[in-house]
Structure 1
Amino acid sequence: MTETVRLGRILGVRVGLHWSVLGIVLLLVLGLSTTQLPDVLPGYPAWAYVLTAVAIALLFAISLLAHEVSHAVVARRNGIEVDGITLWLLGGVARLRSEPRTPGADLRVAVIGPLTSIGCGALFGLAAFLVSIGDLHPLLRVLFLYLAGVNVLLAVFNMIPAAPLDGGRVLRAAVWAWRGDRLMAAVWSARAGRWFGFLLITLGLVRLLLGYGLGLWWILIGLFVVHVASAEEQRARLGTALSGMRVDDVMTPEPDTAHGDRNVSDFLRDVALVRRHSAFPLLDDSGRLQGMVTLNRLRGVAPGERERTPLRAVACPPAEIVLAEPGEPLTALLPRLGSCADGRALVYDRGTLVGIVTPSDVSRAVALSGLGVTWHEGADVTNETGNGYRTRH
């Protein structure tokens, strides 16, 4: 999930919003101000309900942010790299660049989120109690009671043992500790997530057919759970296939580069047409990275604009390009490849660009792994017969 608006950093963790977060805010404000709040406390003007609903939506978003920040902070304390946090339509996502090294670390990262939600619920419950004994405005009491209840509900829902929920992480950690096999644990958690997603979709369809509300919302959540759980199982199997490989085992060395000031028309004629690559890092005269262009990005420049459009104007900016080191485990790089530049990463060795990793490089590595090829330290490759060869160019 890519952020649309960057909010800054909280406790050193980058935080952003996806545009779809407006969806949950609008749904909460409309539902609360038009039906739920007037039903609970009738007789107040419409503006009072709308103001209360907006406050609930904003405080709920802050609660979701606290939930995800707690995951990120504990992950970093357990040696797991965190790329950032994005709030979106169905809640929040803490993007982890690497995986937990032990079942205990996996468990700690998983349980802190629901514990934080329960803590938020307790704080809001205490606020509702203080409002009651202070004889303050009834809508203020309802506001805090709603937030207390929804945070506890969020904690309970997240502890369902199915990926990608926090309970799925707990299940993964437990199976990992029990069986000593992280792949098996990840597969069990992912399959539980798929079944749970299908259950939500089925219940949503039943509610729609019977005329109950929120059926479409259940279906949407179910589809999301099925999609993410399936992706997690695929990623776990991919990580096992690529175990032991390093970035420099699979990278394409010495990639073709270009200058960011060159216009798109000249570049297409003189470089793109005669080279067999689809991605080109942009370097200035001193070798500093200016960005990266791909053929897909250049396709978006109208023919009439190509003569006066410099490459850097359509390039993926340097801050969003995935960087790697030659000796880095390939499995540590994979979670970062889903960002800018069409899943590519640039490889730097002591400040010098030495290679690029593309989806085709990773696919080739997976294919070799399926043929029984294994990577050993030093990038010596050994086949099933024990005959060694080198993969570097």
Structure 2
Amino acid sequence: MKGTLALGRIAGVRVGVHWSVLVILVLVTLALAQGRLPDNHPGYSAAAYWGVALVTAVVFLASLLAHELAHAVVARRNHVEVEDITLWMLGGVARLRDEASSPRAELRIAGVGPLTSAVLGALFVGLFLWLDRLSVPRLLAEAVGWLAAVNVLLAVFNSLPAAPLDGGRLLRAFLWWRSGDRLKAALGATAAGRFVGWLLVLLGFASVLLGGDLSGLWLALIGWFMIVTATEEGQQAQLRSTLSGVPVRQVMTPHPATVPATATVEDFLAHLPTGHYRHTAFPVLASADLDGAPVGLVSVTQIDRVPADRRATTTLGDIMSPLADVATALPDTPVVKLLPLLESGAGRRALVISPTTGSLLGIVSRSDISRTVSWLTAGAAHQP
């Protein structure tokens, strides 16, 4: 997700915050500081309302992070690699590199999220009841009560049997167990997600138009997000099914044009426009030796950012994305395992490396995968 600030690693998982988190932070703080807190407990200073509201909003975001971390931890225990966790305006998302190997694993990974929110809700309820017996400011108890309610609400909402919610994955696990068909199960969860999404959109607009409640726009936004994300999940499921069993070697572009790390930007541009450099990203080798091991990837965008007066002294090695930031694969790696790496890797491309010599064998882009899918789909359509 673009515009994400990395926070580091928790339990070995990369965690980031999207800039849109500021939106939810501001909305929650405003709603509490100018609404719920002064309405229910008048008489405190403005600083007290704003201070308690801000801390409550931060704890709420921490609750969302705990929900996603629970998914990540259980996924790793079920041998599913976790790409990262990102908090954003509509909550959080844990990106998984692989799919669960069985309906039971899918059930565990999906179910732990709502369970975590429910446990947090119960803990906040207990804390609220304890604070209620003590001589503490009622403002603090009110904030804890709000956190209890919102975590219980998250647990209930996420349990709805509709993609992309956790309940949708629970539904997918059940349908997968019943039918034995992973794709059919995924499409069933997608259909449920689209239905619930459109229902939320209609309810949201009805609330605005008939009741004058502007908060209905938020409900409509959540519904639209569900529609879009559920549709994408269905498309990804179909894509994975089509590419099942296809190795990277059948998809890659072999012997791609390469550039040496020692070449200057000026040298590179001097060869344009030629057929040799018609692509927009190039594997970078340590030297001009065509059989060398790649050390990175450089894109036309990175080259274009170099000021004209520095192109004669700036080498491609200076501006390239290092190999550690580039997706790599072996020729026999299943393409479905490469898909999530392409989304997060530099240049949205993967370099195919020889398992014996470490030399470059090919490159894979999204267009390579799209072309392969088109051929596979066309071939399947003509089978008797």
Gap change, CA 1:236 and 1:113, over 3 Å in 2: same
User: Contact (CA 8 Å) 1:2, 1:339: kept in 2 or not?
Assistant: no
Write the letter of the residue equivalent to 2:348. G
Task: Name the structure 2 match of 1:274.
Answer: 275
Structure 1 residue 139: Cα displacement: 1.3
Cα deviation code 1:139-184 (max 9, x no counterpart) = 1111111111100100100011111000000010000000111101
Q: Counterparts in 2 of 1:232-271, with a 5 A limit?
A: 232-270=233-271
Structure 1 residue 343: Cα displacement: 2.6
Q: Among residues 334, 352, 376, which one is paired with 2:339 in the alignment?
A: 334
Gap change, CA 1:31 and 1:307, over 3 Å in 2: farther
Q: Counterparts in 2 of 1:57-68, with a 5 A limit?
A: 57-68=57-68
SS in structure 1 opposite 2:271?
helix
User: Contact (CA 8 Å) 2:326, 2:347: kept in 1 or not?
Assistant: no
Gap change, CA 1:327 and 1:144, over 3 Å in 2: same
Counterparts of 2:111 and 2:231 in 1: how far apart (Å)? 22
RMSD over aligned Cα atoms: 2.3
Structure 1 residue 325: Cα displacement: 1.8
Task: Name the structure 2 match of 1:51.
Answer: 51
Counterparts of 1:2 and 1:353 in 2: how far apart (Å)? 29
Counterparts of 1:309 and 1:21 in 2: how far apart (Å)? 37
Counterparts of 2:261 and 2:203 in 1: how far apart (Å)? 53
Write the letter of the residue equivalent to 1:146. W
User: Contact (CA 8 Å) 2:293, 2:360: kept in 1 or not?
Assistant: no
User: Contact (CA 8 Å) 1:251, 1:355: kept in 2 or not?
Assistant: yes
1:214 correspondence with 2:221? no
SS in structure 1 opposite 2:333?
coil
Q: Among residues 358, 361, 371, which one is paired with 1:354 in the alignment?
A: 361
TM score, norm. by length of structure 1: 0.89
User: Contact (CA 8 Å) 1:316, 1:340: kept in 2 or not?
Assistant: no
SS in structure 2 opposite 1:354?
strand
Write the letter of the residue equivalent to 1:223. W
**More divergent stretch after superposition (20-29 vs 309-318):** 309-318
Cα deviation code 1:309-351 (max 9, x no counterpart) = 5435554444432122211111111122212444311122333
**More divergent stretch after superposition (44-53 vs 347-356):** 347-356
Q: Counterparts in 2 of 1:1-393, with a 5 A limit?
A: 1-2=1-2, 4-209=4-209, 210-270=211-271, 273-275=274-276, 276-285=278-287, 289-301=294-306, 306-307=311-312, 309-312=314-317, 314-350=319-355, 351-372=358-379
Structure 1 residue 241: Cα displacement: 1.1
Percent sequence identity over aligned pairs: 48
SS in structure 2 opposite 1:93?
strand
Cα deviation code 1:262-308 (max 9, x no counterpart) = 33332122266332332202233495655322234444556566445
SS in structure 1 opposite 2:109?
helix
Gap change, CA 1:373 and 1:192, over 3 Å in 2: closer
Gap change, CA 1:81 and 1:111, over 3 Å in 2: same
Counterparts of 1:248 and 1:353 in 2: how far apart (Å)? 12
Gap change, CA 1:208 and 1:313, over 3 Å in 2: farther
Counterparts of 1:301 and 1:163 in 2: how far apart (Å)? 44
Give unpaired runs (5+ residues) of structure 1. 375-382, 386-393
SS in structure 2 opposite 1:212?
coil
User: Contact (CA 8 Å) 2:293, 2:359: kept in 1 or not?
Assistant: no
User: Contact (CA 8 Å) 2:201, 2:220: kept in 1 or not?
Assistant: yes
User: Contact (CA 8 Å) 2:97, 2:340: kept in 1 or not?
Assistant: yes
Gap change, CA 1:219 and 1:265, over 3 Å in 2: farther
- Count of residues in Structure 1 that have an aligned counterpart in Structure 2: 377
Give unpaired runs (5+ residues) of structure 2. none
Write the letter of the residue equivalent to 2:26. L
Cα deviation code 1:337-390 (max 9, x no counterpart) = 21244431112233333221112211221122123279xxxxxxxx969xxxxx
User: Contact (CA 8 Å) 2:286, 2:294: kept in 1 or not?
Assistant: yes
TM score, norm. by length of structure 2: 0.91
**More divergent stretch after superposition (38-47 vs 264-273):** 264-273
Counterparts of 1:233 and 1:302 in 2: how far apart (Å)? 44
Gap change, CA 1:43 and 1:345, over 3 Å in 2: same
Task: Name the structure 2 match of 1:391.
Answer: none
Write the letter of the residue equivalent to 2:98. S
Counterparts of 1:319 and 1:110 in 2: how far apart (Å)? 31
SS in structure 2 opposite 1:372?
helix
User: Contact (CA 8 Å) 2:280, 2:299: kept in 1 or not?
Assistant: yes
Counterparts of 1:138 and 1:104 in 2: how far apart (Å)? 45
**More divergent stretch after superposition (203-212 vs 157-166):** 203-212
Write the letter of the residue equivalent to 1:251. M
**More divergent stretch after superposition (84-93 vs 330-339):** 330-339
Counterparts of 2:324 and 2:22 in 1: how far apart (Å)? 26
